[in-house]
Structure 1
Amino acid sequence: MSSSGYLVHRRLLFHLCKSPCVLKRRVGQQRLLSTSGRCRTIMPAWVIDKYGNNDVLRFTRNASFPVIHYPNEVIIKVVAAGLNPIDVSMRGGYGSSTLSMKRDPLNIKQSGSEFPLILGRDVSGVVMECGLDVKYFRERDEVWAAIPPWKQGSLAEFVVLSANEISHKPKTLSHIEAAAIPYVAATAWSALVNTGGLSKDKCANKRILILGGSGGVGTFAIQMVKAWGGHVTVTCSQNAERFLKGLGADHTVDYTAGPVEEPLSQLEKFDLILDNIGGDTERWALGLLKPWSGAKYVTLVTPFMQNTDLLGIADGMMQTAATVATKALKHLVKGVHYRWGFFSPSGPTLDEIREMVDAGKIRAVVEETFSFSQVPQAFEKMEKGHARGKTVVQISQGGT
């Protein structure tokens, strides 16, 4: 390149760098270019810079703006974010070893590279930008999603997710209502369908026991099983019985009146048990299943994360595999199946859930709503437990 050509080239680059930020907008199947007055590089968010109690939560207006790194990703403007018990656990460091491996499989980054970390596993909002390979969504679409715990969460103005993790929001729900469903729906679906083997065609007249029915997963699971024609028994406190029967529960057992295994043992045996409680329930719960009929006990309280946090990834996974294999074999000889259930993010699953919501078969259960400035109070509410539904944070005003 000649000296004069080099100067022209540098001058052109200089003017391009000073021009307004270029944003991509999808219109039909074409991608046009439009200019914005400024290029966003930061956004408001609640973050943590270390693990700990509620004191580690910090509000900042300088959180890094999410960036599309892969052609199948979308940027979502968050309208509402739902909180779950896992957010409280992650704030304290639960699963940090496993999630760090998922974020950085080759261990290239230094320890602590996940900070500043944004919590929040549920999101309902509006698509702001789509990657080049995204075909099913367009800018301004209203969507909802359950965010994997290894990704930055929804307690921020924007979040970036893969297109196969999101779904169009139900038309019958507001953003606040929609933010109460995705994470618990994905968890319950994974436990009952993927692990438990239930489906809308294989649930009629099945007897299901849900241990701990008044929380987010329990309230959703009750509605899903009833929508498919199953019979649902739940354990709960006495003051939650009317609430859960209003969601469709056929029978309730009050755990505050004494050990629940005694009244449960007097009932007809069950085809599937969903355990949201853990603890010593494994000691007696599997005896409530119908033997030699394919009945399953699925627990959502597993030692997988604890093992990897305590023993490291390799030893923790070996310990976990040995534990689940031992328990599965122990109960298999008694004619019942022992399984662990895990959260699994899935846009197609939320598509199925959306149809059930819009058909009036499932409704959102929001216990309390907080403003964006009240995130610490929302976490305090979550830590108290005994929830009847979900805690939701409104991040911004709804609409496009």
Structure 2
Amino acid sequence: MNFAKRFVCRKVAIHLSNSHVVSRSGNLRRQLSTSSRSMTVMPAWVIDKYGTNDVLRFTRNASFPTISYPNEVLIKVFAAGLNPLDVGMRSGYGAVTMSMKRDPLGMNQSSSEFPLVLGRDVSGVIMECGLDVKYFRERDEISLKPKSLSHTEAAAVPYVAATAWSALVNTGGLNKDNCACKRILILGGSGGVGTFAIQMLKAWGAHVTVTCSQDAERFVRELGADHTVDYTAGPVEEPLGALDKFDLILDNIGGDAERWALTLLKPWSGAKYVTLVTPFLQNTDRLGLADGMMKTALTVGGKALKHLASGVHYRWGFFAPSGPALDEVRDMVDAGQIRPVVEETFGFSQVPEAMEKVEKGHARGKTVVQVSQGGQDL
């Protein structure tokens, strides 16, 4: 199963289909019903242009993916997890960066991203391995998949796990050995990344405060949150300002949070503000890749210097695929320290409804699409 990309994928994600190519993944001892070598087309949800949910189109004749590089594997998808980014990409968000990823040297002038299949998280079975893949075998369910999870549950983990890990560990400097007694604030804690971050931090001994709506307070407390602040009751900066200051803030909401949130950190103590809401893809869409990256670097550099003068560290967090990180996540899941939060499951024929639900926001965990079951497409 492709619990997640162990290394950066060389192909466009095609998760809302019944097959997917990634770089090195894999492990489930189950005979597949069909051989990948004998297939040329597959069912998939595609878009032929960017736009609203109306651009989604179902086809039974999408091109079957093939292995192009020796470090890739071909996966039969059983379940796909949806993320807000998928909705954004449906509308064209990040199109410039994704185009560069598909054709990094700009050699194929006639190439087009359409028809494009959306999606980033999958769980499934390896159908075929590239020549350089030694870590996995055909017909394996990827070893990164927690043994205690079904494919539907596992599909809810990779993207949020890698994002939370990147933000808290790589950017925030937290780990299982230094979290005890640290005070962490999560702005927007009931969504996919927030629910994962709460559990990970609590497993490491941190004290976790979460902002959420009143009807989500019990939910996030059950995940381990020590304290909650209801953002529907009024400006959260007031009740948060009455609390002891924090060692790290993870911002999932953006907006004007930067205006007041950094004042909640312990000054001159190495405290960090890590936001996952960045203008990087917006900049590259608007200005092109080179100018967009320059604009992004100048923006983050300016903000970092400004807040460093106040004694706190300002950082941007990003999704970053990591095999070792996901190995740790697998162990934490199987040890009962983290559980995936699946808010709702949809059949493959209900992809538009699933995308619409994600687009409405106010999530309580993840939305998952069951693509196939027991080797049969749904």
TM-score w.r.t. length of structure 1: 0.84
Q: What does residue range 45-60 of structure 1 map to in structure 2 within 5 Å?
A: 45-60=44-59
Separation in 1 of the partners of 2:97 and 2:124? 28
Q: How far off is 1:38 after superposition? A: 7.1
Q: What does residue range 1-400 of structure 1 map to in structure 2 within 5 Å?
A: 39-110=38-109, 113-143=112-142, 167-398=143-374
Q: How far off is 1:98 after superposition? A: 1.5
Change (3 A) 1:284 1:398: farther
Q: How far off is 1:381 after superposition? A: 0.7
State whether residues 271 and 289 of structure 1, in contact with CA within 8 Å, keep that contact through their aligned partners in structure 2: yes
Letter of the 1:124 partner, please give it: S
User: Deviation per CA, 1:80-121, whole angstroms, max 9, x where unpaired?
Assistant: 000000000000000111111122122223376111111111
Q: How far off is 1:316 after superposition? A: 1.2
Q: Report the structure number with the largest CA radius of gyration.
A: 1
Separation in 2 of the partners of 1:338 and 1:112? 39
State whether residues 160 and 196 of structure 2, in contact with CA within 8 Å, keep that contact through their aligned partners in structure 1: yes
State whether residues 273 and 298 of structure 1, in contact with CA within 8 Å, keep that contact through their aligned partners in structure 2: yes
Separation in 2 of the partners of 1:270 and 1:284? 13
State whether residues 67 and 73 of structure 2, in contact with CA within 8 Å, keep that contact through their aligned partners in structure 1: yes
State whether residues 126 and 399 of structure 1, in contact with CA within 8 Å, keep that contact through their aligned partners in structure 2: no
SS where residue 38 of structure 2 aligns?
coil
Separation in 2 of the partners of 1:187 and 1:177? 17
Separation in 2 of the partners of 1:38 and 1:382? 35
Structure-1 residue corresponding to 2:25:
none
User: Deviation per CA, 1:59-83, whole angstroms, max 9, x where unpaired?
Assistant: 1111111111111111111000000
Q: How far off is 1:346 after superposition? A: 1.9
In structure 1, list runs of 5 or more residues that go unmatched.
1-34, 144-166
Letter of the 2:208 partner, please give it: V
Identity %: 82
Q: How far off is 1:238 after superposition? A: 0.3
Change (3 A) 1:227 1:109: same
Separation in 2 of the partners of 1:390 and 1:80? 12
Separation in 1 of the partners of 2:186 and 2:35? 51
**Relative contact order: is structure 1 or structure 2 higher (C-alpha 8 Å, sep ≥ 6)?**
2
RMSD, matched Cα: 1.5
Q: How far off is 1:399 after superposition? A: 6.8
Separation in 2 of the partners of 1:274 and 1:327? 16
SS where residue 168 of structure 1 aligns?
coil
Separation in 1 of the partners of 2:36 and 2:348? 26
